[in-house]
């Protein structure tokens, strides 16, 4: 009773390597779209901790706006995710989703989180933030590079905080000296 055992033909080594490379590259390409905008709990913790370094601490029930691009469903989804993460981190924070078209709603706001892409949508937004002395946070490097946001946070591999001193000075927002020694000031 000799039964012949059938083996599946094996792919040659170069074909297996090529398939593996294509598989890995497709995973990196899919992740490349979300890496720049993905927010982590560490990002949120860094933002909340940064607020504690202000020389004039805010009231315990302060208000934070989460500003998103009114023309982008993706921006709204990201803003909703930021809202969920911040609420989970610190329940006392009053959160408001505000689109880039709603600058009139920025009165009585203490802080703002600016989602990716929102910085280029409404120029009046930046004058409202400055006029109302609202400290703005972002994970969008372009927002800090274009002199729109006050604080850039990136906690992906290691915590990185960049503070735009000209924006905080214009809004008369001051941090404790120990904080300024821990961050990059531009």
- CA 56 to chain CA centroid, Å, is 24
How far is it, in rounded angstroms, from Cα 75 to Cα 142? 15
Q: Which residues contact 173 (CB under 8 A, 6 or more apart)?
A: 54, 133, 135, 150
φ, ψ (nearest 5 deg) of residue 137: -120, 155
DSSP 96: E
Chain segment 124-178, per-residue pLDDT in tens: 788 888 888 999 999 988 888 888 889 999 988 889 999 999 999 988 899 999 9
Q: What is the pLDDT of residue 97?
A: 94
Chain segment 92-108, per-residue pLDDT in tens: 889 999 998 888 899 88
Q: What is the pLDDT of residue 2?
A: 53
Helix axes 41-51, 73-89, angle to 10 degrees: 60
- Report pTM: 0.75
* Residue 43, pLDDT above cutoff 60: yes
End-to-end CA distance of the chain: 81
Provide, rounded to the nearest whole percent, the portion of the chain with pLDDT above 90.
39
φ, ψ (nearest 5 deg) of residue 56: -110, 100
Q: Most distant CA pair in the chain: distance in Å?
A: 91
Region of 29 please: left (phi>0), alpha (psi -120 to 50) or beta.
Answer: alpha
* Average pLDDT of the chain, as a whole number: 79
- For 133, the token pair is 């002395």
Report the CATH superfamily, name and number, of domain 41-185: Response regulator (3.40.50.2300)
């Amino acid at each position: 009773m000799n039964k012949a055992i059938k083996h599946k033909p094996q792919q040659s080594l170069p074909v297996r390597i090529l398939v593996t490379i294509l598989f890995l590259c497709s995973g990196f390409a899919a992740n490349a779209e979300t890496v720049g905008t993905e927010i982590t709990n560490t990002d949120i913790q860094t933002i909340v901790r940064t607020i504690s370094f202000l020389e004039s601490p805010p009231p315990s029930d302060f208000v934070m706006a989460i500003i998103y691009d009114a023309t982008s469903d993706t921006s709204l989804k990201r803003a909703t995710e930021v809202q969920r993460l911040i609420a989970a981190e610190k329940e006392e924070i009053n959160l408001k989703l505000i689109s880039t078209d709603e600058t009139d709603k920025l009165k009585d706001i203490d802080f703002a989180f600016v989602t990716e892409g929102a910085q280029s949508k409404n120029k009046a937004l930046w004058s409202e933030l400055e006029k109302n002395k609202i400290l703005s946070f972002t994970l969008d490097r372009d927002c800090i590079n274009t002199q729109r946001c006050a604080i850039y946070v990136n906690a992906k591999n290691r915590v990185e905080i960049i503070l735009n001193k000209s924006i905080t000075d214009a809004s008369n927002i001051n941090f404790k000296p120990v904080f300024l020694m821990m961050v990059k000031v531009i």
